[in-house]
Structure 1
Amino acid sequence: MKQFIQGNEAIAEAAVRAGARMFAGYPITPTTEILEYLSWRLPEVGGTFIQAESEIASIHMVVGAATCGVRAITASSGPGLSLKQEGMSVLADEQLPALIVNSVRYGNGIGTLVSSQCDYLRDTRGGGNGDYRQLVLCPASVQEAVDLVGLGFDLAEKYRMICVLMTEAALSHMMEDCELPPMQEPHRYEWGMDGHYTRPRIGIFDRDSVQEAKEWMVEKFAKVKENEQRWEDGYLEDADYVFVAYGLTGRSVIGAVEYLRSQGEKVGFIRPITVWPFPEKAFEKINPNVKGVLTVEANATGQLIDDVALTLKRQKRGNVPVFTNPHIWGVPSRKMILDDYKSVLQGTLKEVY
């Protein structure tokens, strides 16, 4: 049965239903509702809720829970996630799965409270010190956020790595109809510490040699890239121009593309659902005679565009111009997107690549 529910509360309930039994976090707009919801909901199902003294403390509590084989979750936003990077690097080093919610708000330093997509490069490149990757899922609706919570835990467990649910402040606080999944029985990872003198096989260097560890890590990331690309697309086969956008911006782009198609314009779209691994396979479907690709982004400098241009180069389409006109924050409206398209056609928006 569908419910009319806020994004943050839907994410929190979906985590409980996916078997998460530990949350540690620190309040921050726009994810505080996740913390508030789980403060009473987790004890109801025998789970553990901790409001830690800091973001740094909370992520290391998640490390401890994951080491013991428990499905664990934390949530924060820009500056809070920056403080968590050390612990996230530890999770990656020890091959520990966890779901980390980043509801992105705009700005450097302590930033603003305005919805944005400015954390793309940090989250898709790992973020912390060292040499690792993390799964990054980007929902475009409350329902998709709920669905990706369960998938995120499953993928994190399958590959023993971090999964980031990279949402946006606007999605955290919007309310939509949503069908919540059934309750799963919680389980512990079979390799988790159990209080006995057993030695769980954790850590990327728990191999016979450093070279073996390196080869294993590269092989794992290659397997994730091959098997876990997810996206939504439309009208790519005959498109003269293709829009690329994720999250709520991607949702706006789909509306703009549908309108332009109704006006006889040959345009298409790709909406990445995973931004790591980046959905390179989607670009293989693009019309070989495409005239240009346009990213629509809610940041100041353009970040998604780098992966789009790199993908086209890898596919030997380096002569296809790639454009962007970043919209800083908020969710770009259909009019903004149509104006961007008009600027490309008129030649006033210059290609970046």
Structure 2
Amino acid sequence: MKKLMKGNEAIGEAAVLAGCRYFFGYPITPQTEIPEYLARRLPEVGGVFLQAESEVAAINMVYGAAGAGARVLTSSSGPGISLKQEGISYIAAAELPCVIVNIMRGGPGLGGIQPSQSDYFQATRGGGHGDYRLIVLAPWSVQEMADLTVLAFDLADQYRNPVLILGDGSLGQMMEPVELPQSQAVHSLKDWATTGCRKRTRNVINTLYLDPQELEKHNQHLQEKYCLIAQSETRAEQFLMEDARIVVVAFGLSARIARSAIQAARADGIKAGLFRPVTLWPFPYHQLHTASAGARAVLTVEMSAGQMVEDVRLALEGRVPAYFYGRSGGMIPDFRAVLAEIHRIGGDDNGN
């Protein structure tokens, strides 16, 4: 049975159903409904909700819970995620699984509380220090907010790596019917976890390597893991791409707007299609390269000044002209403006 929920609430409930029993965070608009929901929900299942004194404290609490082998969640937005970056780097270096949610708002600086997609670079390039990667999932509906939360916990455990869910303020606040996933059993402690229990193998979780050869060896191990993730976990969705001559690339809310524009363009005789990355890292370079083989142009639509478009250009390798349309600072693209861009790029031959 479907339930009408906000996107933020869907993340909270899906986390509980995925076996998460620990949340550490700090309120910031537009994600505050996640901690608000979990403050009520986690005690019902014997879990722990703790509002920390700061984002820095919260991410280090996540570090501790993850090190003990628990399924743990934190959430924030823009400025709060920036404050968490040092801790995220430590967690990635220690190979600890956790899930981080960023419900994006406009920036830079304090910016505003309206929706944005301007944290793409921070999420996909690693906002903290060192050679590390996060798996980054980009939902485009409230249903996917729930589904990708469950997937995030599974991927985090499978690869012992933090997973970031990158949504925006509109997705966090909008309400849609959601079919919630089945409840999973709370997972038992991992054999690598540091629990303080007697009669277990002594485990030490460490990110300090004073010998440069040891640090290089650790980094090589991490890069091998990231290569495996890139080979196995790249995800994308295609819409009307079979004969598309104008390919629109977008994620999250921008993809929903682009889909409406593509349907209108099709009605006008333009063969347009949508390519939607679901994993922003690993980015679906090969899938986009293949899908755009018959295209005459590719248009990237973002709620930013242009960030994902750089990955799109890398995927295209100069074979196809790459265009960009974006709004920033909390402004949402209008589907009519996207449609106008498709018409402009399509030219007189309607993309045929």
Short-chain TM bin: over 0.9
Q: Using the alignment, how far apart are the partners of 1:296 and 1:224 within structure 2?
A: 26
Q: CA offset at residue 126 of structure 1? A: 1.2
- Relative to 1, partners in 2 of residues 1:262 and 1:345: Cα closer, same or farther, differing over 3 Å? closer
2:173 aligned with 1:169, yes or no?
no
Q: CA offset at residue 131 of structure 1? A: 1.0
Gaps of 5+ in 2: none
SS state at 2:101 partner: strand
Show the counterpart of 1:298: 303
Q: Using the alignment, how far apart are the partners of 1:96 and 1:297 within structure 2?
A: 31
Q: Using the alignment, how far apart are the partners of 1:331 and 1:201 within structure 2?
A: 47
- Relative to 1, partners in 2 of residues 1:159 and 1:203: Cα closer, same or farther, differing over 3 Å? farther
Q: Using the alignment, how far apart are the partners of 1:134 and 1:199 within structure 2?
A: 28
Kindly provide the CA deviation profile for residues 27-65 of structure 1, in whole angstroms up to 9, marking residues without a partner as x: 100111111111121111111111000000000000000
Q: Using the alignment, how far apart are the partners of 2:332 and 2:191 within structure 1?
A: 42
Show the counterpart of 2:202: 199
Q: CA offset at residue 346 of structure 1? A: 5.4
Q: Using the alignment, how far apart are the partners of 1:271 and 1:327 within structure 2?
A: 18
Spell out the pairing of 1:101-250 with structure 2 (5 A cutoff). Answer: 101-187=101-187, 188-196=189-197, 198-200=201-203, 202-203=205-206, 209-250=214-255
Cα root mean square deviation, aligned: 1.9
SS state at 1:107 partner: coil
Spell out the pairing of 1:301-312 with structure 2 (5 A cutoff). Answer: 301-312=305-316
Spell out the pairing of 1:252-267 with structure 2 (5 A cutoff). Answer: 252-267=257-272
Kindly provide the CA deviation profile for residues 300-337 of structure 1, in whole angstroms up to 9, marking residues without a partner as x: x2001000001111xxxx14111102111343222121
Q: CA offset at residue 192 of structure 1? A: 1.1
SS state at 1:253 partner: helix
Q: When the two structures are superposed, what TM-score results if normalisation uses the length of structure 1? A: 0.92
Kindly provide the CA deviation profile for residues 248-304 of structure 1, in whole angstroms up to 9, marking residues without a partner as x: 1111112221222232211111001110000123224335342111000101x2001
| Higher mean displacement: 240-249 or 197-206 | 197-206
Q: CA offset at residue 2 of structure 1? A: 0.5
Partner amino acid, structure 2, of 1:304:
M
Q: Using the alignment, how far apart are the partners of 1:321 and 1:39 within structure 2?
A: 49
Kindly provide the CA deviation profile for residues 182-226 of structure 1, in whole angstroms up to 9, marking residues without a partner as x: 221112333211213633364467899444323321211111111
Partner amino acid, structure 2, of 1:193:
T
Kindly provide the CA deviation profile for residues 100-122 of structure 1, in whole angstroms up to 9, marking residues without a partner as x: 00000011111100101000011
- Asked if structure 2 preserves the Cα contact closer than 8 Å seen for 1:95 and 1:204, the reply is no
| Higher mean displacement: 241-250 or 208-217 | 208-217
- Asked if structure 2 preserves the Cα contact closer than 8 Å seen for 1:28 and 1:80, the reply is yes
Show the counterpart of 1:60: 60
Show the counterpart of 1:351: none
- Asked if structure 1 preserves the Cα contact closer than 8 Å seen for 2:97 and 2:156, the reply is yes
Show the counterpart of 1:344: 345
SS state at 1:331 partner: coil
Show the counterpart of 1:350: none
Partner amino acid, structure 1, of 2:98:
A
Q: Using the alignment, how far apart are the partners of 1:339 and 1:65 within structure 2?
A: 50
2:17 aligned with 1:12, yes or no?
no
Q: Using the alignment, how far apart are the partners of 2:28 and 2:61 within structure 1?
A: 18
Partner amino acid, structure 2, of 1:199:
R
- Asked if structure 1 preserves the Cα contact closer than 8 Å seen for 2:286 and 2:315, the reply is no
Q: CA offset at residue 156 of structure 1? A: 0.7
SS state at 1:191 partner: coil
- Relative to 1, partners in 2 of residues 1:212 and 1:130: Cα closer, same or farther, differing over 3 Å? closer
Q: CA offset at residue 340 of structure 1? A: 1.7
Percent identity among equivalent residues? 46
Partner amino acid, structure 1, of 2:220:
E
SS state at 1:75 partner: strand
Q: Using the alignment, how far apart are the partners of 1:219 and 1:257 within structure 2?
A: 39
SS state at 2:28 partner: coil
Kindly provide the CA deviation profile for residues 81-113 of structure 1, in whole angstroms up to 9, marking residues without a partner as x: 000001101101110111000000011111100
- Asked if structure 1 preserves the Cα contact closer than 8 Å seen for 2:77 and 2:103, the reply is yes
Q: When the two structures are superposed, what TM-score results if normalisation uses the length of structure 2? A: 0.92
Q: Using the alignment, how far apart are the partners of 2:237 and 2:331 within structure 1?
A: 22
